[in-house]
Amino acid sequence: MILFRSFILLSVVCFIHLPVEAQKKSFFKKLNLDTLTNRNLRFLPLPSVTITPETGLKAGVFVDYFYRTKSDSGKTVRPSLSWVQALYSTRNQFTAEAYTSTYTSNEQFYIFFRGGFISNYERFWGFTKPSVTNDQYAEVTYNRVYAQAKLQRNLGNKYFAGVSFYFSDYSRNKFQEKEGITAVPPAGNNNSRITGAGLSFTADKRDNQFSPTKGFFADATVIANYDLQNKQYAYTLITTDLRKYNETGRHIFAHQLYTSLATDEMPLFEKARIGGSNMMRGFFQGRFRDNTFWTLQTEYRYRLNRFLKIAVFAAAGNTAPSIDRLLAQQVQVSGGTGLRVLINKEKKIYFRGDIAVTANGMLGYYFRIGDAF
């Protein structure tokens, strides 16, 4: 302890006796915003803290790896990103996941993977037309092992096509009713084990994949899913994701139309859910759920200066038990505002803080890295 105190004292004395100009230069070089936001993010292990209504406070270890593969033609290959994370939340949720979004040399192929283990907590109100209030829900816990993957070939001009794979195993689900609840969980065994394969197409014309301001993104995937528990065809899932970005001076407009359409009945936990930190913010994820889902959301972002943006956003959408009834259901609406803080200039990565409200009286708050879409 004496040695440690002596070292601290010596360090302080040496700093005091440095020339004033050297002190200022060293201090401002480390803490200047331009220096901080221009850090070379390549391999970045760091603590991770997020806050959402679904998780409460979630913290753990997050390791990012940013990289670019080689290009023989001299053209710039878009950045790739891989990460692993282990997180635990105040709602006793545990997550261990791995992720990669990789463009191979010369962008000849695109490889996507996300998978891992989740011990989760969520809430169950019912399906598309639950006759319950926001406070009347069942609490449910379960374990999930899952993997999603894409392997696509570059068709030229930033168009990609290829195959997609899916595996999802839900087990050990437990429902606990709240006092006065009327949303009764479905009877029977709600565990499920689904695997599937299909085709996917992607067009990515965005100027940046982390925080785009110009261009568009389009993705369509069709996967035929097989029920491993009952040894039979389960359903085909068709998803589309369309995004458009425009920038005029300090003004940025972002729009997204997302659909998830199942041809047959889905297992309980595979059903599409309204809500979360990225789509229809404000709704607790799962407030409405069913076999089909659509949402249209728009966000206006205004650049205050080099480091800060403010945002205003709105979203509409709903769920339905089948594709033909999707537009016949009541449309749910949410909106809110937020702040974006630049944490890396080269890759345009922002820290996001949002608060959102819904037409049926729910409130959501989100503190995360990265734009919603």
The DSSP string of 60-87 is: EEEEEEEE----SSSPPPPPEEEEEEEE
Among 248, 247, 195, CA closest to 226? 195
What was the pLDDT predicted at 209? 82
Among 1, 287, 256, 358, CA closest to 133? 287
What was the pLDDT predicted at 11? 39
d(CA 155, CA 149): 19
What was the pLDDT predicted at 66? 83
Token output for 350: 């922002």
d(CA 61, CA 222): 34
Ranges of beta strands (E only) in the chain are: 43-52, 56-67, 80-89, 94-103, 109-124, 138-156, 159-177, 192-204, 215-227, 232-248, 251-262, 272-273, 289-290, 292-303, 308-320, 332-344, 349-358, 363-369
What was the pLDDT predicted at 79? 83
Residues whose CB falls within 8 Å of the CB of residue 290, separated by 6 or more in sequence, listed in order:
127, 128, 271, 272, 319, 320, 321
Q: At residue 308, what is the residue type?
A: L
User: Coil, strand, or helix at residue 268?
Assistant: helix
What was the pLDDT predicted at 178? 67
In angstroms, what CA-CA distances link 30 with 25, 33, 75, 117, 352? 9, 9, 33, 38, 23
What was the pLDDT predicted at 133? 87
What was the pLDDT predicted at 180? 59
Q: What is the pLDDT along the chain (373 residues), one digit of tens a residue?
A: 333 333 333 333 333 344 444 445 554 455 444 554 555 556 666 677 888 999 999 999 888 888 888 777 667 778 888 999 999 999 999 999 999 999 998 889 999 999 999 999 999 998 988 778 898 888 999 999 999 999 999 999 899 999 999 999 999 999 887 665 655 677 778 999 999 999 999 999 998 888 899 999 999 999 999 999 999 999 999 999 999 999 999 999 999 999 999 999 999 999 999 999 999 999 999 999 999 999 999 999 999 998 999 999 999 999 999 999 988 899 999 999 999 999 888 778 888 999 999 999 999 999 988 899 9
- Determine contact, residues 349/343, Cβ cutoff 8 Å: yes
pTM of the model: 0.84
Among 252, 353, 258, 369, CA closest to 315? 258
d(CA 87, CA 211): 24
| Count of C-beta atoms within a 10 Å radius of residue 334 | 26
What was the pLDDT predicted at 26? 53
